Amino acid sequence: MTRKLKTLLFTLLAVAVGFGLGGQRPAAPRPAAAAPTYDEIAALLAGLPADVPSLAAVRVSAVWKQYAETVEKNWSDLTVKRLKPMQAWADKELLRARASSKFLFYPFGGPDFLTAFEFFPEAETYELLGLEFCGRLPRPDLWKDRQAEAYLKNFSASLSDFFDKSYFITSHMDGTLYGQGQVEGVMPLLCFFLKRTGHRILDIGRLDFDPKGQAVELDYDKQKKASRPYGLKILFSAEGAASVKSITYVSCNLENKTFAKDSSLHRNLGRLPAGLTTYVKSASYLMHYATFTNIRDVVLDKSQFILEDDTGIPYKVFKPKDWRVQLYGEYAKPVKDFSGVDQPDLKKAYDEGGDAIPKLPYHLGYHWQDNRDALILAEKKK
């Protein structure tokens, strides 16, 4: 066979291979879909529609469609029964507190961004403290087999107490925030609330604290540490708005022995701006005890306004010469889970106020069975 004939045969073979045996050129490999953003993952967890190629397989599944339908119903019920009455009440009663500060501090709040936002939507910075670890968002684009079903089931369970009772129960969260295929930490819950309240998540970072209490910001994937205190920071904005706000969540134990005055977190909170607003709800009466006086002192020192139920700072601490106090709702004996934290002076104040004390048009807190809620708004006298 001549060299010329060999060259011709080789050329024909190359053409045949290039076009495939069927005579057509094989399609170019499709580029892999880009990894979903934090905001896109949060929208999926919130049961909201979005056109995201990398999450298309999850969104067309029967599991996610059923999940989204359930979330929408639960959120609609919550809006009617709790959120709208809260908004209307806060628009009337919290005007001075809202105008006083753009910083909302929520110790013992865990991942409950929603309540803080409904009361104080104009805040620019929200700082929440809780025992639960920070965790991370899932990667739904990498889910296989029954992972979507397992994760969404656990995510629904982690929200159930909040929808039903208005607060998270730590022992119940321990069953849904740990383990393979389960919700990892509070970050997904915070992002769920952000999307459901009409926000766009811009970025998420990690926080550590140096010995002097300075917060050190790290990349999302850099921090592997799980020992308290450590935290996360979410930058977000309202849909269509240019201004950027932030949520800081710190996983920590606020008992005096760990939250000592020379600890990194105590020094960090010492940098909080004076004149902020503090909100406390369903806090297990911890600031009633001598073992939690350090965080109580921080709240009293830094706050211009304190909005709390009876589980926060004891009523007797708000001395008339220093604080102006407005009571709402009605006082009821603490539920059976808590003993030794009755407040006779607070009960007397409610009894003496009688019909002059405004009722609450919504329910929040431990008295979810009888809706007998006490709410205290304390303003520091300048």
**Angstrom distance (rounded) from CA 154 to CA 148:** 10
pLDDT digits (tens, 9 = 90+) for 11-55: 433 333 333 333 344 444 444 568 899 999 999 999 999 999 999
pLDDT digits (tens, 9 = 90+) for 79-136: 999 999 999 999 999 999 999 999 999 999 999 999 999 999 999 999 999 998 899 9
| Residues of the domain holding 273 | 34-307
- Whole-number mean pLDDT of the chain? 87
Asked if the model's pLDDT at residue 210 lies above 70, the reply is: yes
pLDDT for the residue 25: 43
Considering only residues 24 and 275, tell me which one the structure prediction assigns the higher pLDDT. Answer: 275
- 198 within some domain: yes
Asked if the model's pLDDT at residue 6 lies above 80, the reply is: no
Number of domains in the chain: 1
- 7 within some domain: no
Sheet of 374-380, strand order? 215-218, 199-209, 230-238, 245-251, 125-130, 103-106, 276-280, 303-309, 374-380, 323-329
Q: Nearest CA to 259 among 286, 238, 281?
A: 286
* Per-position DSSP letters for 186-239, written without gaps between them: SHHHHHHHHHHTTEEEEEEEEEEE-TT--EEEE-TTT----SSSEEEEEEEEET
pLDDT for the residue 23: 39
Mean pLDDT of 155-183: 65
Q: Which range is least confidently modeled, 93-102, 149-158, 177-186, 284-293?
A: 177-186
**Angstrom distance (rounded) from CA 366 to CA 254:** 21
CB atoms within 10 A of CB 321: 5
Task: State whether the Cα torsion 314-320-321-325 is positive or negative.
Answer: positive
Q: Where are the alpha helices (DSSP H) in 101-167?
A: 113-119, 147-165
Q: Which range is least confidently modeled, 18-22, 136-140, 159-163, 320-324?
A: 18-22
**Angstrom distance (rounded) from CA 159 to CA 161:** 6
- 108 within some domain: yes
pLDDT for the residue 15: 35
Asked if the model's pLDDT at residue 3 lies above 70, the reply is: no
- 356 within some domain: no
- 65 within some domain: yes
Mean pLDDT of 332-343: 91
Q: How far is CA 64 from CA 9, 43, 112, in A?
A: 55, 12, 24
- 71 within some domain: yes
184 — pLDDT class (breaks 50, 70, 90) = confident
* Residue whose pair of structure tokens reads 């290039």 in the numeric block: 18
- 45 within some domain: yes
pLDDT for the residue 165: 60
Considering only residues 157 and 254, tell me which one the structure prediction assigns the higher pLDDT. Answer: 254
Mean pLDDT of 63-72: 95
Residues 6+ apart with CB under 8 A from 212: 264, 267
Helix (H, G, I), strand (E, B) or coil at 131: coil
Q: What percent of the chain has pLDDT over 70?
A: 85
- 150 within some domain: yes
pLDDT for the residue 24: 43
* Per-position DSSP letters for 305-337, written without gaps between them: EEEEETTSS-GGGS-TTTEEEEEEE---PPPTT
Asked if the model's pLDDT at residue 225 lies above 60, the reply is: no
pLDDT digits (tens, 9 = 90+) for 340-379: 999 999 999 999 999 899 999 999 888 777 778 999 999 9
Mean pLDDT of 193-222: 94
1 — pLDDT class (breaks 50, 70, 90) = very low
Please report how many Cα atoms fall inside a 13 Å half-sphere around the Cα of residue 54, on the Cβ side: 15
Asked if the model's pLDDT at residue 181 lies above 70, the reply is: no
